[in-house]
Chain A
């Protein structure tokens, strides 16, 4: 039994040693825009965008070949000057792909009042590698609205990811 454990531990150590070390690289998706189509009613509303980040070519320009992991590290949202985020009580962000299940990746509750720029709290444990491997995926912004709005609600977004990549 002890010998088995020893062999198993050795094999794991060997595999770990063979694996190329990963580095962390920052990657941004900027100037995205979520539009909730009006008229909007109080309560749960959502907007979705389809993204196709060019991660592979980005990594190659940095001298990396393989993406081994991806985490969301920052989400900043901004709204038109004429509006503030006062109408939004809480917001959360999800990722979903055709072949990858939906996962919550960030939240902000409560939304600070009187602001035109806010930051969401990224999920600590959300692994986004499968979405990047799919190439194209959706980002879904959910917001609970405190009241009705006769027009569209457009929210700009900048997202920052920490990619793990090996050479």
Chain B
């Protein structure tokens, strides 16, 4: 009976180990990242099974015209233009798809109020290629983001 239990336990582990590993691999994206322009820092978190990134720091937090904190003044929905950029969720709905890639997400550009399809590739533990595109990946632009608190290389 005991042997049977151990056997079932092992089978259970074998069956679910790959999905658990995939989940943990996906969580490598969680952390604070800095785009190449260095004007902002984005914290990536997980909600449900998807990943989201919020602006947590701005080099110039205030709008030079108003002297007040920058707002999402280009939001296509006028009723939401009072939303502050600090705390704004610009990366949305990313799903870990395997091999260091997160897909199905979008990236929002507050400079023009546009949302683009986006794919994230992890080059190494501390470097991301973030590619925003319209329609097909060919028509897009890639930016390199660096992890803020660098992890020691393994």
Residues in A lying within 8 Å of B, measured CB to CB: 43-44, 46, 48, 89-90, 92, 94, 96, 98, 101-102, 104, 107, 109, 121-126, 138, 140, 142-144
Contact = CB atoms under 8 A, between A and B. Distances in A.
Smallest CB-CB A-B distances: 8 pairs: A124-B79, A44-B87, A144-B87, A109-B82, A125-B77, A107-B83, A102-B92, A90-B84
Contact of A90 (B45, B55, B87, B89): B87
A89 to B, nearest CB: 8
Interface string B54-90: 1111000000000000010000111110111011010
Interface in B85-142: 86-87, 89, 92-93, 106
Nearest to A91: B87
Contacts, number: 70
B146 interface: no
A90 B83 contact: yes
A48 B83 CA distance: 19
B93 A123 contact: no
Contacts of A44: 43, 54-56, 86-87
Given A101-B92, A107-B82, A109-B82, A43 B87 contact: yes
Interface residues of B, number: 26
Q: Is the interface of B mostly helix, strand, loop or mixed?
A: strand
Contact of B47 (A107, A121, A138): A138
A109 B71 contact: yes
Contact of A107 (B80, B89, B93): B80
A48, A96, A126, A138: most-surrounded residue (chain B CB, <10 A): A96
A104 B80 contact: yes
A46, A96, A107, A138: most-surrounded residue (chain B CB, <10 A): A107
A96 B128 CA distance: 25
B77 A124 contact: yes
